[in-house]
Amino acid sequence: MDVPISPTTARSSSLKHYQRSAWSAGDYTSVAGTTTIASELLAERLDVRPGERVLDAACGSGNATIACARRFAQVTGLDFSATMLEDAQRRMAAERVSARLMEADIEDIPLPDADFDVVLSAFGAMFAPDQKRTAAELLRVCKPGGRIGLASWTAGGSLG
């Protein structure tokens, strides 16, 4: 998809570059522990079932990916940070669960339309610079009648 270069596109690209560098530089596994319960609750609320195809978009270190894999779903975890995906892979090995991990941008998901029964993002989609495009992509890859769920913190700082 060709996107015309505009000031907005340039800012978005610059922000993504900064975010990719920041997410790749730190050790976020310690922070991930604080969002584990919320990720488990998200998988529970979405009623993730064995065999369902699940996309964890902007999966980071894999909290929701692991939560869904524990429920025997066929999970794809997608993130634009190779470092975060490596952390997710290590955590999945420790938890003895498996999922497909892929490096890609949540605003341009390289997967077919209507490919997933469940699409979710736990504390990831909220960082995407173009929220409308992100929402459109999440809707695009979800099957008709499928389920979409997001977890994020609120302006007041609470998880929800």
Q: Report how far residue 81's alpha carbon sits from residue 146's, in angstroms, rounded to the nearest whole number.
A: 27
Question: Residue 31 domain-assigned?
Answer: yes
Structural domain boundaries, residue 49:
7-151
Predicted local distance difference test score (pLDDT) of residue 1: 43
Q: Which residues pair with 134 in a beta bridge?
A: none
Determine what percent of the chain is predicted with pLDDT higher than 70.
76
Q: State the CATH number of the domain containing residue 142.
A: 3.40.50.150
Looking at the structure of the chain, the number of domains it has is: 1
Question: What average pLDDT score do residues 140-150 get?
Answer: 99
Question: Residue 104 domain-assigned?
Answer: yes
55, two tokens: 């996309």
Segment 21-58, tens digit of pLDDT: 554 545 555 555 677 889 999 999 999 999 999 999 99
pTM for the structure as a whole: 0.80
Angle subtended at Cα 111 by Cα 95 and Cα 19, rounded to the nearest 5 degrees = 70
Question: What average pLDDT score do residues 122-137 get?
Answer: 95
**Over the chain, what is the mean pLDDT?**
86
Question: Residue 35 domain-assigned?
Answer: yes
Question: Residue 106 domain-assigned?
Answer: yes
Question: Residue 158 domain-assigned?
Answer: no
Question: Residue 2 domain-assigned?
Answer: no
Q: Report how far residue 132's alpha carbon sits from residue 84's, in angstroms, rounded to the nearest whole number.
A: 24
